[in-house]
Amino acid sequence: MASLDEIKKVIVDFATNTKKSKFYFKDMEKAVQKVIPDAKSREIKKAATALINEGTLVYFSTGSSTMYGLKGRGISLETEETGKAD
Amino acid sequence: MSAEGEEKLWETKKYDEVRIYKDEEIWNYTDEELANYKCKHDTPLLDQLEEGPWPSFVSDIKQEALHRHKLPEDKLLIPADVCDDLLGQVELSYVEKETHWKHGGIVGVFGYGGGVIGRYSDQQEKFPGVAHFHTLRVNQPASKFYKTDYLRALCDIWEYRGSGLTNMHGSTGDTVLLGTFTEQLEPVFFDLTHDLGVDLGGSGSNLRTPSCCVGKARCEFACYDTQDICYELTMHYQDELHRPAFPYKFKFKFDGCPNCCVASIARSDMSYIGTWKDDIRIDQEAVRAYVAGELKPNAGAFGGRDWGKFDIQKEVIDLCPAGCMEWDGKELKVNNKECVRCMHCINVMPRALRIGTDTGCSILFGAKAPILEGAQMSMLTIPFIRVEKPYDAIKDIVDKVWDWWMEEGKNRERVGELIQRKGVQEFVTKVLGIPAIPQMAKEPRSNPYVFWSEDEVPGGWQRDINEFRKRHPR
Ligand code: HEM
Ligand code: HEM
Ligand code: SF4
Ligand code: SF4
């Protein structure tokens, strides 16, 4: 079984290198399971939550659905507020 | 407001202690001032909305705009003219027929993936008061029971740190606080949790704030305690409520009976609707009193007009959707085996007819508004289940459905759409492991979802074509 730290590392790799700056939980889950096939979605969620709490990942929400992203990559609070994002 | 036996992390204050405004600051304008109030922007199109027969949100917002202008500046942490700028931006949208709200964002409170909905104006120079206009969802108490001192404290916090505008309640059920700036989000969250003892609700791809009808608190039709299970599942599924990892939103709603006062059948992915297994209880004496006009049908709810004498045949027997009632002039008979628990007869004659005593709920899945696919109502899946503390059997079902949906669901696919895509058969027999029943099929030919699987058929899918041709020559 993969440890939380291993899963976190795969998530950060994915979030850093994936083409899109924000992605759905499912995309992240698939990316993790490619590297660690036996990782369960609950474990992946735990790892993602830990990364959120550490400030490495951020949530992006439209209000109706939610995505994840690496903090500072692509959309940031500043660009959002000056209206330059997307 | 922590439950009995739970450890308290901090002492919740008395609502009176967290008040910010004095009474004279709340009632700080006259009717005359309101009538003469001139909004910062011209809003001729919005003004038209005030002329109709119904109360208008435009009037409400103007009232709040005036109120804010008359409050001392040091008692407002976001612009006093947020309401004027809101009206100005909406007016502009009415003219241009285009929204000026920017959708979405990374705003939120620490550790939570839901509860805050980020909105920004794309006309920030024209309307600086709504440059940020984030919404917060606050988890409402079960059945929306409030005390006035709580509401006063809540409104004070929101006047001080937000626009003062609320929506009681959003269609999810939450108390909705409309419009504030990013830097106020954490302080509002702190005040709500520490001073008022309430939490944020759900938004985004997570469990949305569960909601329930008034249930046993006031209603004799309640077949189970909607408030208790609503609270219990809210607490049990905190992680799902605050940390989004679902393909899309998921809603629970709890109705104590098929009258469906929270419209669970139309508005929730998993609808819990109270029902009973045994017979409708009949008080024949009271039935005769209704017929004789001594008791008012529908408890007098339609008393505003003269509908003529109550006609039990026309108004009850003939309207029973199951056609399972009979009235011979003296006695009312119900064929309970055919009754579909529509509640009509009970609603008309509540003194004479009562729900049965062997009660529980039906669980239905899949209601949703149109996003990817069209709107749909929930489908009856579990006809009867007991609703008993600690609700383990129900939690088991929830967990199975979520595991399947998280595994198989596509991004932004609601569970109802997944059931459509994969078929009811897979959902019912494979995911839930319950037998399908004929009533689940609307028409056998247009909705043929009950298929045999290979191991249920003697010889499986293989056949010997030569053997077959011996019996059925070409
Ligand atoms: C009193 C006489 C009859 C009644 C009340 C009756 C009623 C019905 C009903 C209710 C259906 C189901 C329709 C549906 O679910 O969409 C049906 C289907 C059918 N009936 Fe009859 N029927 C009668 C006589 C007959 C006779 C005499 C025949 C043939 C000689 C016949 C042939 C069929 C066939 C082939 C179907 C289609 C079955 C299917 O879709 O699976 N019926 N009938
Ligand atoms: C070789 C003979 C026959 C064949 C291949 C045949 C085939 C079919 C087919 C394919 C349908 C449509 C089923 C569907 O809606 O999915 C149908 C419907 C029907 N057939 Fe036949 N049929 C045959 C003989 C008969 C006979 C002899 C009768 C009546 C005496 C009959 C009465 C009906 C009726 C009433 C329906 C409509 C059922 C409904 O819509 O519910 N069929 N048949
Ligand atoms: S849904 Fe039924 S039980 Fe709940 S409040 Fe309405 S009538 Fe009463
Ligand atoms: S509840 Fe509805 S279906 Fe049942 S007997 Fe009354 S009217 Fe008929």
Number of independent structural domains in chain A: 1
Query: What residue of A is the nearest CA neighbor of B248?
Result: A65
pLDDT at res. B444: 58
Closest by CA position to B352, among listed B291, B310, B302, B300: B291
pLDDT at res. B448: 53
Minimum-distance ligand 4 atom for the alpha carbon of B353: 6
Within-domain flag for A39: yes
Q: Which residues, 6 or more positions from B303, have their beta carbon under 8 angstroms from its beta carbon?
A: B296
Within-domain flag for A80: no
pLDDT at res. B5: 57
Question: What domains sit in chain B, N to C, each tagged with a CATH number?
Answer: 15-195 (3.30.70.2500), 211-276+360-455 (3.30.413.10), 281-354 (3.30.70.20)
Average pLDDT over residues A29-46: 93
Give A-chain residues touching B183 at CB under 8 angstroms: none
Output the CA B199–ligand 3 centroid distance in Å. 26
Whole-angstrom distance, CA of residue B335 vs CA of residue B205: 45
pLDDT digits (tens, 9 = 90+) for B203-230: 999 999 999 999 999 999 999 999 999 9
Whole-angstrom distance, CA of residue B304 vs CA of residue B74: 50
pLDDT at res. B199: 96
pLDDT at res. B304: 83
Say if B250 is an interface residue toward chain A (CB within 8 Å). no
Within-domain flag for A76: no
Q: Which residues, 6 or more positions from A49, have their beta carbon under 8 angstroms from its beta carbon?
A: B111, B243
Strands B119-121 and B165-168: unpaired
pLDDT at res. B332: 98
pLDDT at res. B442: 63
Minimum-distance ligand 3 atom for the alpha carbon of B256: 3
pLDDT at res. B306: 85
Within-domain flag for A79: no
CB atoms within 10 A of CB B376: 17
CATH number for A50: 1.10.10.10
What are the DSSP calls for B197-256, one per residue? ---B---SSSB---EE-SGGGT-TT-SS-HHHHHHHHHHHTHHHHHS--SSS-B-EEEES
From the centroid of its chain, how far is CA B463? 52
ipTM of the complex: 0.81
Query: Considering only CA atoms, which residue is closest to atom 5 of ligand 4?
Result: B339
Range of the domain at A28: 4-71
How far B136 CA sits from the closest chain A CA (Å)?
Answer: 10
Which ranges constitute the DSSP H helices of B292-348? 312-315, 344-348
Amino acid found at A45: K
Say if B127 is an interface residue toward chain A (CB within 8 Å). no
pTM here is: 0.80
What are the DSSP calls for B416-470, one per residue? HHHHHHH-HHIIIIIIS-----GGG-S-TTT-------GGGSTTTT---HHHHHH
Confidence of residue B298 (pLDDT cuts 50, 70, 90): very high
Query: Considering only CA atoms, which residue is closest to atom 8 of ligand 4?
Result: B320
Give yes or no for residue A86 having a pLDDT over 50: no
pLDDT digits (tens, 9 = 90+) for B372-401: 778 899 999 999 999 999 999 999 999 999
pLDDT digits (tens, 9 = 90+) for B423-452: 888 999 899 999 877 767 666 555 555 667
| Phi, psi torsion values for A27, nearest 5 degrees | -65, -40
Output the CA B314–ligand 4 centroid distance in Å. 14
Whole-angstrom distance, CA of residue B133 vs CA of residue B179: 4
Q: Is there a contact between A26 and B247 if contact means CB atoms under 8 Å apart?
A: yes
Closest by CA position to B267, among listed B333, B181, B197, B364: B364
Within-domain flag for A66: yes
- A–B CB contacts, 8 A cutoff, strictly below: 98
Q: Is there a contact between A49 and B182 if contact means CB atoms under 8 Å apart?
A: no
Give yes or no for residue A78 having a pLDDT over 50: no
pLDDT at res. A32: 96
Q: Is there a contact between A63 and B135 if contact means CB atoms under 8 Å apart?
A: yes
Give yes or no for residue B271 having a pLDDT over 70: yes
Mean pLDDT of chain B: 92
Within-domain flag for A83: no
Within-domain flag for A81: no
pLDDT digits (tens, 9 = 90+) for B128-167: 999 999 999 999 999 999 999 999 999 999 999 999 999 9
From the centroid of its chain, how far is CA A34? 15
Q: Which region among A44-48, B75-79, B106-110, B189-193 has the lowest average model confidence (pLDDT)?
A: B106-110
Within-domain flag for A42: yes
Output the CA B445–ligand 4 centroid distance in Å. 28
pLDDT at res. A82: 40
Give yes or no for residue B3 having a pLDDT over 80: no
Say if B135 is an interface residue toward chain A (CB within 8 Å). yes
Give yes or no for residue B168 having a pLDDT over 80: yes
Say if A66 is an interface residue toward chain B (CB within 8 Å). yes
Query: Considering only CA atoms, which residue is closest to atom 4 of ligand 3?
Result: B256
pLDDT digits (tens, 9 = 90+) for B337-373: 999 999 999 999 999 999 999 999 999 999 998 877 7
